[in-house]
Amino acid sequence: MSNGNWGRWGADDERGALNLLTPDVVKAAAGAVSSGRIYSLGVPIQREGVPLMDYRGTPMRLTLQDSTDDGIYDMYGAKKGTGAHEDVLVMASHTTSHMDALVHVYDDYQHYNGVAHDTMHALGGAQQLGIEKVGAFAARAVLLDMVKYFGDDEWVEYGRNITGDDLAGAASAAGVEVRAGDVVLVRTGYLQGWYDAHQKGAEHQFAQAGIGIDAAQWLADRDVVAVGSDNAAVECIPFDGDDFLAVHKVLLVRHGIYMLEFLDLAAAAADGVTEGLLAVCPLKVTGATGSPINPVLIA
Amino acid sequence: MSNGNWGRWGADDERGALNLLTPDVVKAAAGAVSSGRIYSLGVPIQREGVPLMDYRGTPMRLTLQDSTDDGIYDMYGAKKGTGAHEDVLVMASHTTSHMDALVHVYDDYQHYNGVAHDTMHALGGAQQLGIEKVGAFAARAVLLDMVKYFGDDEWVEYGRNITGDDLAGAASAAGVEVRAGDVVLVRTGYLQGWYDAHQKGAEHQFAQAGIGIDAAQWLADRDVVAVGSDNAAVECIPFDGDDFLAVHKVLLVRHGIYMLEFLDLAAAAADGVTEGLLAVCPLKVTGATGSPINPVLIA
Amino acid sequence: MSNGNWGRWGADDERGALNLLTPDVVKAAAGAVSSGRIYSLGVPIQREGVPLMDYRGTPMRLTLQDSTDDGIYDMYGAKKGTGAHEDVLVMASHTTSHMDALVHVYDDYQHYNGVAHDTMHALGGAQQLGIEKVGAFAARAVLLDMVKYFGDDEWVEYGRNITGDDLAGAASAAGVEVRAGDVVLVRTGYLQGWYDAHQKGAEHQFAQAGIGIDAAQWLADRDVVAVGSDNAAVECIPFDGDDFLAVHKVLLVRHGIYMLEFLDLAAAAADGVTEGLLAVCPLKVTGATGSPINPVLIA
Amino acid sequence: MSNGNWGRWGADDERGALNLLTPDVVKAAAGAVSSGRIYSLGVPIQREGVPLMDYRGTPMRLTLQDSTDDGIYDMYGAKKGTGAHEDVLVMASHTTSHMDALVHVYDDYQHYNGVAHDTMHALGGAQQLGIEKVGAFAARAVLLDMVKYFGDDEWVEYGRNITGDDLAGAASAAGVEVRAGDVVLVRTGYLQGWYDAHQKGAEHQFAQAGIGIDAAQWLADRDVVAVGSDNAAVECIPFDGDDFLAVHKVLLVRHGIYMLEFLDLAAAAADGVTEGLLAVCPLKVTGATGSPINPVLIA
């Protein structure tokens, strides 16, 4: 496999495709705001009723202080009836809607830019490519509603491998162009399928529609910054070519293109949004492999 | 104390001043982008070296899986050398840079809009006014660098009560206007003082410069959506009028105006930024009293 | 309902039936050791494959440091090849095998000895009756194998309400006497049923055999210190008299008698153990409502 | 360094010196109970006021449910006024009083019995030698009060390297014999020194009195099962021979002898206890490197 963007922004680069977001590109992205409508793309973080994976444990909001602690601020002269509530959060960095750091996946024991896979330390965290290198960013977003494009009812058939031609077709049909520096949001309807199955008490499908290697390469050729989707892994499952995490290898590892998973794109798609300004604000956790996110799309 | 905005957006409203962010206001806010430069305002989340409060516990990034787990994906047909790193995060919802939900503080046993303080349940979380009601938002931001305005060296004198006149003066001097729907970012330099003391191994000051009741009322009168600062509580400590959380009561409780704490405003201030588009993306944790944030300012 | 042991050991007592464990009683208990065989009664604490309750979250052992951190002790002069592994544990205090503190359950808004139910604070923890008041203890244990006594195959019929006469009969059949200061271990086989269902991928039964109010009173009349069982709540479910936590009210609330849940009694029962010395060592977590335990039975 | 007990109990043995605890040895140990007095040796687990190490994070007891959740059992038919309190615990496995599993420390990249150091997996935990292999145990304990023996005031001089002769002398002076299968408890007074410094707001000493290599070998020669102390690491700091974890290497790695750290031995020592039956009940956390403990000493 070609090494895509390795070395393109320097041998020590840790930000990958985010380098494409020059001030000019960001300024132009702000021009994608047309109506001022806002969409919060995060799936709720809660113990149940949202897609979770067992090995990541139960996300927990635990109360740190509540009204039972009334009086603890007396020592600071607090007036009677004054108080505060707080929580502690316990959750995987890859809980529901999240962003993968470049240190998340490795292929042939290497991450983006040839960083060795053992750069991740248990106590020390990621020595390179951690989520804190991202900062927070804003970019033009293009929303491709594949459910609509394929003429499916509520979601794209589970397991379907979405191709570059499919993305090109959907963009063309929507009258929107994918440009360098964009975030491409690919809606498959998987999330709606998940909620539907959950409501019916049915088994959740592990198989999911998503982009395959061809589409990943198509996106990389267009110099996108990130790819987001409303499914678990952006890519189709079963994996393209039966290669576990095949699309992560093309995007994250070879090109330094970020991946945003389990975004809720339904409301924006229902409103016919095709482009906008997207702000993505991962928590700046030093050494982390990703972060839960709740991006805002300004259409 | 007057009840400010209680009832203004309906007896059942749970979003407070976010109601001011109509599409037209957001669209206009996008016009505040001039250069396209981006600032990530989050302070890192890590075990030490950043301002933390003991009772909130140590924020921890704990490795969920790393290279020592090599081979666990064999069952999925992963090729040799393919793997993934993940973490679990344990942190207070009010860790380093964070946003207060309207359920955070109560006064006279009531939150914004008259919601009773026992709406916060230990297991159930906030029954009303939780952070998930915020979604994510974008607004015009005005940055008032009080260090520069007061002519201080690196930080405003600890404990100084910043007034409405001070804010008006700083805005005027910077040639920027505070409008309805804005987020006002008040830089005090406290964070730089903290880092300075930390580096020297000195005691951290609990006293901090911040806005007082007068400035809070001034901001509420201008219908701002949120107030952010680079200190622990937005407000000055010792508290104005020796009333514990006095400014929280004016802003959060009486007016439903959000508070963003421990934002790192130094880089933007150093570049002379005075306005921009700010995106704030709190984690959508159901029932939480706040969220760590890493807002992006697009200047 | 009578208030049982309230006031018996003083109006301020926080240890309940543990007061029965005078040195003489403990010394006599040591005489119950006959063979020197040891049984560890704790069910493993792990993410799956053991009985867990969803609302308590996934118990997690998270690696704090492992071999990927090699070299972090260089600063202390560690020789090459020297290192340490550590973990962080996240688990409910009532995970798998656990002991209830007297502050765990309340009835009529009161705990043992009339302590008000709001003695439990979110931040501050239990102001009274917390698990740290227990310390650690050792007592004579009597093991009543109800599966054997009832002539059941592997477990007592789900939902069966075990009575005082049943316990008396089982003790008599086993040739063992229940004395003041004892811990009575009641084996129902529920745990084996759980493992059996788990292995088969079958639904777990919520209904469970356990003691009812009559047996609880029988035990209280004999001044036992604690009652342990191999099910989720010691008591039968559906609850006796359809009164939620009916047996907890008799034992824990009215008599200050401790409850030990989800103990693995199978190995000791298989060996025909009927008495021994039992040591119970709950973690001394200040203000906690209980603790995971792994008691040792010395037969 | 000789490999001590490697291979002694089989090439696949994972329990080390616990193999010495045959039923006969345990039965004899029960004979060490003389008065029936009980000592809980665990230091409290709480956020502050006890010796903690920063990198292990703040131990947290977080309330899972309290009186603010009143009514959540209505669906189960709970009577008004009936409820339960629960917590979630977040703590290092090596918090305050704890037991090291054999997988804790490695030397020359090997653990006890030649197990490779990468047997510890981030997600999978210890593949061998984890704390769950211990179960729970009881053994005769000998308490050697080195403060008394050395004639020190409240604690042994910080940094003092306690030798085998010192232990022999203390045992002789106390009229107690160290036998195969014993747990030896070495009191240095460090914990009292810690509390004293804490109360005064003074700096805590990192240097500590503890056993050195000579004493470790002396103990190994006597086939003890475990060594406990009232300091952070059983061994003296600075480390004997400037070899980081020198005593851990002798005891844990070479001999499979367990180490119990930060035990509170003051009360037992004050009562002049020199022997007893000790029960140690580590949590049975699958794959963990250790466990918090609260052993009970029955004198």
- The answer, yes or no, to whether residue A1 has pLDDT greater than 90, is no
Q: State the pLDDT confidence band at C215, using cuts at 50, 70 and 90.
A: very high
Run of H or E including B296: strand B296-298
Span D264-289, mean pLDDT?
A: 98
* ipTM of predicted complex: 0.97
- The answer, yes or no, to whether residue B77 has pLDDT greater than 90, is no
- pLDDT for res A75: 86
* Average pLDDT score, chain A: 97
> Chain A interface residues facing chain C, Cβ-Cβ under 8 Å?
47-48, 54-55, 57-58, 60, 63-66, 68-69, 72, 90, 118, 120-124
Report d(CA C89, CA D47) in Å as an integer: 15
Q: Which residue of C has its CA nearest to B121?
A: C122
Buried/exposed A16-51: b ≥16 CB within 10 Å, e otherwise: bbbebbeeebbbbbbebbbebbbbbbbbbbbbeebb
Write the pLDDT tens digit of every residue in C236-271.
999 999 999 999 999 999 999 999 999 999 999 999
Span D260-281, mean pLDDT?
A: 98
- pLDDT for res B206: 84
- pLDDT for res A76: 86
Picking from C63, C295, C45, C97, the residue whose alpha carbon sits closest to that of residue D286 is: C45
- pLDDT for res C163: 98
Span D270-282, mean pLDDT?
A: 98
Flag if B118 and D57 touch (Cβ within 8 Å). no
Helix axes C213-221, C164-174, angle to 10 degrees: 60
Q: State the pLDDT confidence band at A204, using cuts at 50, 70 and 90.
A: confident
* Average pLDDT score, chain B: 97
- pLDDT for res D206: 84
Q: What is the DSSP string of D129-178?
A: S-GGGT--EEEEEEEEEHHHHHT-SSS--TT-EE-HHHHHHHHHHHT---
Which of D55, D60, D123 is the closest to A88 by Cβ? D60
CA-only gyration radius of chain C, Å: 20
Q: Which residue of B has its CA nearest to D55?
A: B47
Write the pLDDT tens digit of every residue in D187-240.
999 999 999 999 999 887 789 999 999 999 999 999 999 999 999 999 999 999
- Among A53, A58, A68, A91, the strongest candidate for a mutation testing the D interface, having the largest count of D CBs within 10 A, is A68
Write the pLDDT tens digit of every residue in A3-32.
999 999 999 999 999 999 999 999 999 999
Which of B85, B121, B279 is the closest to A296 by Cβ? B279
Q: What is the DSSP letter of D128?
A: S
- The answer, yes or no, to whether residue A130 has pLDDT greater than 80, is yes
Flag if D62 and A122 touch (Cβ within 8 Å). no
Flag if A283 and B42 touch (Cβ within 8 Å). yes
The minimum CA-CA distance between D93 and chain A, rounded to whole Å, is 14
- Among A24, A60, A82, the strongest candidate for a mutation testing the B interface, having the largest count of B CBs within 10 A, is A82
Flag if B118 and A87 touch (Cβ within 8 Å). no
Residues of C in contact with A57 (CB under 8 A): 47, 57-58, 60, 90
The secondary structure of chain D in percent helix, strand, coil, rounded to multiples of 5, reads: 30, 25, 45
- D38, D296 contact by CB (below 8 A): yes
Flag if A62 and D67 touch (Cβ within 8 Å). no
- C233, C239 contact by CB (below 8 A): no
* Average pLDDT score, chain D: 97
- pLDDT for res D120: 97
Residues of A in contact with D68 (CB under 8 A): 63, 66-68
Write the pLDDT tens digit of every residue in C45-95.
999 999 999 999 999 999 999 999 998 999 888 999 999 999 999 999 999
Write the pLDDT tens digit of every residue in D75-125.
888 999 999 999 999 999 999 999 999 999 999 999 999 999 999 999 999
- Among B55, B60, B68, the strongest candidate for a mutation testing the D interface, having the largest count of D CBs within 10 A, is B68
- The answer, yes or no, to whether residue A122 has pLDDT greater than 90, is yes
Write the pLDDT tens digit of every residue in B11-23.
999 999 999 999 9
Task: Provide the whole-model pTM.
Answer: 0.97
Span B185-214, mean pLDDT?
A: 94
Write the pLDDT tens digit of every residue in B238-264.
999 999 999 999 999 999 999 999 999
List subunits contacting chain A, requiring 3 or more Cβ pairs under 8 Å.
Answer: B, C, D
- The answer, yes or no, to whether residue C154 has pLDDT greater than 70, is yes
Q: What is the DSSP letter of D262?
A: S
* Average pLDDT score, chain C: 97
Which of B62, B64, B123 is the closest to C64 by Cβ? B62
Which of C55, C57, C72 is the closest to A57 by Cβ? C57
Q: Please give the residue that has the higher pLDDT: either D205 or C226.
A: C226
List subunits contacting chain D, requiring 3 or more Cβ pairs under 8 Å.
Answer: A, B, C
Q: Which residue of D has its CA nearest to B66?
A: D122
Lowest mean pLDDT among B189-198, B255-264, C203-212, D158-167: C203-212
pLDDT cut 90: percent of chain B above it: 96
- pLDDT for res B203: 80
CA distances from D287 to A94, A277, A288, D104 (A): 23, 47, 23, 11
Report d(CA A45, CA B214) in Å as an integer: 37
- Among D1, D82, D249, the strongest candidate for a mutation testing the C interface, having the largest count of C CBs within 10 A, is D82
Span A52-67, mean pLDDT?
A: 96
- pLDDT for res A81: 96
